[in-house]
Chains A and B, each alone.
Chain A
Amino acid sequence: MLVEPEVVAKAQTGDVSAFNAIVGAYRKRILGTIYRLIGRGEDVEDVAQDVFVRLYYSLDQLRSIEVFEPWLYRLTSNAAYDYLRRRKRSGGVRMADLSEEQVIAADAAESGRRTADEQDAAETREFVETLFREVSEEDRILLTLKEVQGLSLKELSQVYGVNENALKVRLFRARKRALRAYDKLKKRKAL
């Protein structure tokens, strides 16, 4: 844990400085996780703040301090899920929605400001972002936590509150759907 269990216990009693210490310790990790989960840099901070607001209002529901981190992951996943659903409903402009000329123009404008490594990283992000749009929000979050964030099955079972066998099945199905989307995207790219 990034903070002592006593700090979490103090925050549960409403101690402001203890809560601030939790925010200070976890904000960078939460920002990184959210970025991987939602794939949109400009909204990361907003969703991360939402996570800490949720944390503040639900700290009293945390029964055991040992599960603080999985529980924080759950709040993070829930906030990311709500954001992804909102974005889907509002139908925000995405690269996939733009015409080919617009994409080329946007790429050209961006690439002028980027190094080759940054360009590769941007392309990977764009490809994975497109891949994740082909699967459900639930699959996206599960795959990100497992395959990108690197959470173990045990950690995931604490986050989701289900046993490891049920998670294995979910993961297997999510990977299958992701593979199908991957094949589809590769075919589209080859054309």
Chain B
Amino acid sequence: MQADREQELDQLFASYRDAIPELEPSPEFLANVWRRIEENRGFVWTTMLQRWAPRVAAVSALATVLLTASVWIPQQQRAREEAALDRGYIEALTVGSLDEHDSALWIMAGDRLATRR
């Protein structure tokens, strides 16, 4: 029963094969293929751009971050160095003024002792 049905189906497919007439391509077949190829050229570029657009955007974003970092990090380092230099100068001034202040105190104390004697 099953085998008969299988056979019937095979026969049906064989008849279908023979029932399909052989088609002749139209004389404009090749010309139409080229027309469609030309029409698709712009579309292919658009499709490629669409496909690559997210990647290009991601690469651009990464490049922006890297460029910003490459400008910002040296600037920050320079600012830190300058601040350190400024601090050093102020500290040097402070120490210098303290020394002068101390010596002035010593001188004043010496004068006072001398007058008491």
Total chain A interface residues with beta-carbon distance under 8 A = 37
Within 8 A of B (CB), among A94-120: 120
Interface of B is mostly: helix
CB neighbours of A128 from chain B (8 A) = 12-13, 16, 19
Per-residue contact bits, chain A 163-191, to B (CB 8 Å; 1 contact, 0 not): 00000000000010011001100000000
Judged by a CB distance under 8 angstroms, whether A143 is at the interface is yes
Judged by a CB distance under 8 angstroms, whether B20 is at the interface is yes
Per-residue contact bits, chain B 10-26, to A (CB 8 Å; 1 contact, 0 not): 10110111111111111
Judged by a CB distance under 8 angstroms, whether A85 is at the interface is no
* Interface footprint category on B: 20 to 34
Write the nearest CB–CB distance from A180 to chain B, whole angstroms: 10
Q: Are B29 and A45 in contact (CB-based, < 8 A)?
A: yes
CA A178 to CA B18, docked complex, whole Å:
19
CB neighbours of B18 from chain A (8 A) = 121
When A124-B15, A182-B5 are in contact, do A28 and B44 touch as well, CB less than 8 Å?
no
Q: Are A32 and B25 in contact (CB-based, < 8 A)?
A: no
3 closest pairs, A vs B, by CB? Answer: A121-B19, A147-B13, A124-B19
B interface vs A, CB < 8 Å? 5-6, 8-10, 12-13, 15-26, 29-30, 32-33, 36-37, 40, 44
Can you list 25 A-B pairs, Cβ within 8 angstroms, ordered by A?
A28-B22, A28-B24, A28-B25, A31-B23, A31-B25, A32-B23, A35-B20, A35-B21, A44-B23, A45-B23, A45-B26, A49-B36, A50-B36, A53-B33, A53-B36, A57-B44, A124-B15, A128-B13, A131-B12, A148-B17, A150-B17, A175-B6, A182-B9, A182-B12, A183-B5
